[in-house]
Amino acid sequence: MADGTVEGMPPPPRRFGEPRRLPALSVVVIAEADIAALQRCLAALLAQDFAGAQFEIVVVDPDDRASLRQQVALRARQAAGAPAVQYLVVNRADGLAAARNRGWMYSRGAVIAFIDPDGVPAPDWLQRGMAALVPGVVAVHGCVRMALSDLPDDHERENAELAQRGLLGCNCFVSRIGLVAVGGFDERFSADWRCDTDLHFTLIEHFRDGQRVRPAPLAEVLLGPRPEPWHAGLRQQQRLQFEVLLMRKHPRLYRERAGCVCSHLQLGVQFAASLLLLVTAGALLVTSTAVASAALLLWLPLTAGVYLQHPASAGSFGRKRWREWVAFALTLVAIPPLAVFWRSVGALRFRVRRPPRLS
């Protein structure tokens, strides 16, 4: 590990600014499409009120972009090794969890901090996070604040609500000992959904002490607005298969932790709404308007309830724009059957709780 390699893995393809000694802390950033946002993140990291010789920055690029490589090389020259700025190429097809694993295994710090590329950490972010990671604590999760646009839609409000939940990969500090003990992120979480919550639950269960994972409210990161297209709600139903995986791996914590409850009532409502929609369509095909009308009258309140029970929808009706109303109508129709379908996919796909070994 001293040379930044991991047994069984090929050597890193490129490094900049080799440090003279092992850093105490490594910051891992998974670079996404918005290079401008990543530049703001890197600028804030280089301006941290933390000794540059004590940490390194590892930029993980899933796309092997020449432009990004040049920007990272420029930042590395500006930092002059304090901190060292590293660059690592990974395979996007392997998913976010795999990218984070490659990043922390490539890094050399005893503590690994994870941050999203559109995150702007407070000047004392590293200092506050490290101060909270006292002996006996294996991980801490900081405070995430999300900037909203002037007229936030439901997806922005949902992201802002999710940003308040536990350990998130956009602002957390995890000891290398803890990551090695649990095998890092479970790479079955190939999408950007629940892999950080899974790590949180796995650390709690492995160390048998809830105090080993603590909040660090003074370690703050500001996330930029994350607007989504109108059809994002439909596309995001694919995430529900990973919700099933999380529930099967950690049934007790899944039930107990706020924000992780997917009740049997909710599943029943979604299934009933999907069945009534199918009955309505079938009745219309055979020109049975009475049956179609009855099924539709039952379907409307059930489907509306699916939407209204979502925390992000609370109090949002008066602020909706016409495009959101169109999206709202379409998602009312499509989300329940899509949710049932993707939960079924997850139930069939993830039947073994024990995650595979890291490659």
pLDDT, position 312: 46
Write the CA distances from 116 to 15, 39, 113, 277, 330, integer angstroms: 21, 12, 10, 40, 31
pLDDT, position 169: 82
Average pLDDT over residues 186-213: 88
Q: What is the enclosing helix (H) or strand (E) of 118?
A: none
pLDDT, position 61: 94
pLDDT, position 103: 95
**Residue of 238 and 130 predicted with greater confidence:** 130
Q: Is 141 helix (H, G, I), strand (E, B) or coil?
A: strand
Grade residue 310 by pLDDT with cuts at 50, 70 and 90: low
pLDDT, position 320: 54
**Residue of 339 and 230 predicted with greater confidence:** 339
Grade residue 227 by pLDDT with cuts at 50, 70 and 90: low
Query: For 111-131, how does the pLDDT look when each residue is reduced to its tens digit (9 = 90+)?
Result: 999 999 989 999 999 999 999
pLDDT, position 173: 97
Residue type, 207: F
CB 107 within 8 A of CB 28: yes
Query: For 118-171, how does the pLDDT look when each residue is reduced to its tens digit (9 = 90+)?
Result: 899 999 999 999 999 999 899 999 998 876 655 555 555 555 555 556 678 889
Domain coordinates in residue numbering, the chain: 25-228, 231-359
Which CATH homologous superfamily contains domain 25-228?
Answer: Spore Coat Polysaccharide Biosynthesis Protein SpsA; Chain A (3.90.550.10)
CB 124 within 8 A of CB 95: no
Look at residue 262 and tell me whether its pLDDT is greater than 60.
Answer: no
Query: For 273-293, how does the pLDDT look when each residue is reduced to its tens digit (9 = 90+)?
Result: 777 777 777 777 777 788 778
Average pLDDT over residues 233-261: 80
E strand segments, the chain: 25-30, 55-61, 84-89, 111-115, 119-121, 139-146, 171-175, 213-223
Look at residue 302 and tell me whether its pLDDT is greater than 80.
Answer: no
Grade residue 314 by pLDDT with cuts at 50, 70 and 90: very low
Grade residue 260 by pLDDT with cuts at 50, 70 and 90: low
- Reference 116, options 125, 124, 108; nearest CA is 125
Count of C-beta atoms within a 10 Å radius of residue 256: 10
Look at residue 5 and tell me whether its pLDDT is greater than 50.
Answer: no
Look at residue 223 and tell me whether its pLDDT is greater than 50.
Answer: yes
Average pLDDT over residues 218-239: 78
Q: Give the tokens for residue 296.
A: 């539709």
The answer to pTM > 0.95 is no
Query: For 12-54, how does the pLDDT look when each residue is reduced to its tens digit (9 = 90+)?
Result: 444 555 545 789 999 999 998 788 889 999 999 999 999 988 9
DSSP labels, 198-260: HHHHHHHHHHT-GGGEEEEEEEEEEEPP----TTHHHHGGGGHHHHHHHHHH-HHHHHHSTT-
71's CB contacts (< 8 A; 6+ apart) are: 35, 38, 39
CA angle 231, 237, 239 (to 5 degrees): 125
